[in-house]
Amino acid sequence: MTTITKAACIGGGVIGGAWAARFVLAGIDVAMYDPHPEAQRIVGEVLANAERAYAMLTMAPLPPRGTLRFAPSVEDAVQDVDWIQESVPERLDLKRGVLNEIDAHAKPDALIGSSTSGLLPSDLQRDMAHPDRLFVAHPYNPVYLLPLVELVGGNQTSKETIERAKAAYAEIGMEGVVINKEIEAFVGDRLLEALWREALWLVHDDICDTETLDNVIRYSFGMRWAQMGLFETYRIAGGEAGMRHFLGQFGPCLQWPWTKLTDVVDLDEALVEKIGAQSDAQSGMHGIRELERIRDENLVGIMQVLKGANGGKGWGAGKLLADFEARLWAGAGKADVDPTAPAPLRLVETKVNPSWADYNGHMTEFRYLQVFGDTSDALLRLIGVDDAYVKAGHSYYTVETHIRHLGEAKVGEALYATCQVLSTDDKRLHVFHAIHRADGDEVLATAEQMLLHVDAAAGRAAPADPAVLARLQAIADAHSALARPEAAGRHVGQKR
């Protein structure tokens, strides 16, 4: 759970709506104010995208959703919340007016983050009564997935505010990257601006079209930058000779006439039409909603890959995802199941991730075992075999599995998995899992598994901790009332 439980979003476009989605999915109640007649529809669409993306992003237990209400005024939205995210259009006078209104009605110590992508926080906070709690919190689209938020304080922002903000954004899975000094456009947009200007020249001058330029980026440095940045990449390019040597080599190139340094392209009607037509040729076969879905699936997949990177420790945005998941697991406490009920335990809720699909759009064979493995892990957490227990040197290892495939799951389908404990002793744990379609409860696959408790250092079976065994026995006792599944104890190819 997050420390802050109530937030307000002022402005509900693509950015404001995505902030609301991030808050709500993190369990925070949100009051949204946006006078736009379509605000409710737009926010609803962004929230649906975000929910779809989160279902693919993480198996960690999201907290119960926060509520989302549309408030009739800024005053009504902000008065009882601890965190306010302002995302109104990029005009200084407009933002100042809205921020002053927020300031007048919010609690004096409520955090106020502005989503501005370029205005200076010192300018934004100039007329506020409590300017110390105003900061820039500049996110990147899609806000519900990309973890970056640039945190920039103005000359009246308190150091404590930036620290509180950094902690708050971490709770919703974001990294508040603190920028030392305020400058217009901060860091990310400065870099984007520089490259964008050059890109416009290249298309303007017919050196290449938009698709060629995009391919140049995504087949090369785009992939480098998804996981290391600019300097770390060049550090490698420097090799053993090092970064200083690399800079020495690179330096002179800066004097080459390699960019249209001193001129700004005129984005006139002809250039707009040229780029528009090239973009249609490049991407027009996909609708915007379709491109959003593809983008979100790709970003999810990249973050999941980076979560497993660096020998499982996580890297870049994947490390942030791992940290976020650890937070979610810690906040989830015990699974919301009654271990003493005489019924199989419903331990895993999931959806078929697009990356799990075979060429038919069905869930691939080995992903069933992934879900069964998650089910065993959930059972183990329930009986106290948690990170600390494993780090102390003991765990349960799977020694045998018998899977039966009875039906097929499609991409995006919601599934759940249940577990029946068949028998247990001080070392062995014999379970029977089933994966069900959430809509209708049909059983799609079953897995009978034997797990063995091991002393990892010694590399041999060893009795489990008495407290673990007691929790396990309570479940086994409850399940002793259940009928043994007909499929248990069967071998491959056995006649019915």
Site residues for a copy of itself, 340-359, by CB under 8 A, read: 354-355, 357-359
Q: Quote the least distance from Cβ 374 to a copy of itself, whole Å.
A: 9
Nearest CB to a copy of itself, comparing residues 428 and 471: 428
Residue spans of alpha helices (H) in 155-287: 159-171, 188-204, 210-218, 221-227, 230-238, 243-250, 269-283
Q: Note whether 75 binds a copy of itself by CB under 8 A.
A: no
- Report the nearest approach of a copy of itself to the CB of residue 78 (Å): 27
For residue 189, state whether it binds a copy of itself (rule: CB under 8 A): yes
- Position of tokens 């699909």? 357
Q: Applying CB under 8 A, does 171 fall inside the site for a copy of itself?
A: no
Give the integer Cα–Cα distance in Å for 136 and 162.
9
Residues 369-428 binding a copy of itself (CB under 8 A) are 369-370, 372-373, 390, 397-405, 411, 428
> Is 303 near a copy of itself (CB under 8 A)?
yes
Stretch that binds a copy of itself, among 3-11, 53-61, 285-293, 434-442 (CB under 8 A): 285-293
With CB under 8 A as the contact rule, the residue among 48, 94, 167, 230 that binds a copy of itself is: 230
Beta bridge partners of 362: 410
How many CA atoms does the CB half-sphere of 85 hold within 13 Å? 29
Residue span binding a copy of itself (CB under 8 A) among the ranges 62-70, 98-106, 120-128, 190-198: 190-198
Cα-flanking dihedrals φ and ψ of residue 363, to 5°?
A: -65, 130
Over the Cα atoms of the chain, what is R_g? 27
Residue 306: both structure tokens together: 């980076």
Instruction: Output the smallest distance, CB 299 to a copy of itself, in A.
Output: 6
Which of 237, 270, 343, 392 is in the footprint of a copy of itself by CB under 8 A? 237
What number of CA atoms fall less than 13 Å from residue 175's CA on the CB side? 13
Contact between 205 and a copy of itself per CB under 8 A = yes
Task: Please tell me whether residue 317 binds a copy of itself under the rule CB under 8 A.
Answer: yes
Q: How many CB atoms lie within 10 A of CB 167?
A: 12
**Measured CA distances, 129 to 88, 106, 107, 124, 224 (Å):** 20, 11, 11, 12, 45
The Cα–Cα gap between 12 and 39 comes to: 6
Task: Using DSSP, state whether 70 is helix, strand or coil.
Answer: strand
In the complex, least distance from residue 11 CB atom to a copy of itself, rounded to whole angstroms: 16
Residue 243 interacting with a copy of itself (CB under 8 A):
yes
One residue of 129, 285, 288, 481 binding a copy of itself per CB under 8 A? 288
| Tokens read off for 106 | 């919010």
Q: How far is the CB of 405 from a copy of itself (least distance, A)?
A: 5
Q: Is 40 a residue that touches a copy of itself (CB under 8 A)?
A: no
Q: Which residues are annotated as a binding site for NAD(+)?
A: 11-16
| CB closer to a copy of itself out of 463 and 489 | 489
In the complex, the smallest distance separating the C-beta of residue 1 from a copy of itself, rounded to whole angstroms, is: 24
CB-based contacts of 227-236 (< 8 A; 24+ apart in sequence): 227/306, 227/309, 227/315, 227/316, 228/316
**Interaction with a copy of itself in 259-278: which residues (CB under 8 A)?**
259, 261-262, 264-265, 267, 272-273, 275-276, 278
The alpha carbon dihedral of 9, 15, 17, 21 has a sign of negative
Among 109, 127, 160, 184, binds a copy of itself (CB under 8 A): 184
Site for a copy of itself contains 199 (CB under 8 A): yes
Nearer to a copy of itself, 107 or 428 (CB): 428
Instruction: Work out the burial of residue 435: count CB atoms within 10 Å of its CB; fewer than 13 is exposed, 13-18 middle, 19 or more buried.
Output: buried
Residue 108, interface with a copy of itself (CB under 8 A)? Answer: no
Whether 351 and 345 have beta carbons less than 8 Å apart is answered as no
Q: Does 332 bind a copy of itself (CB under 8 A)?
A: no
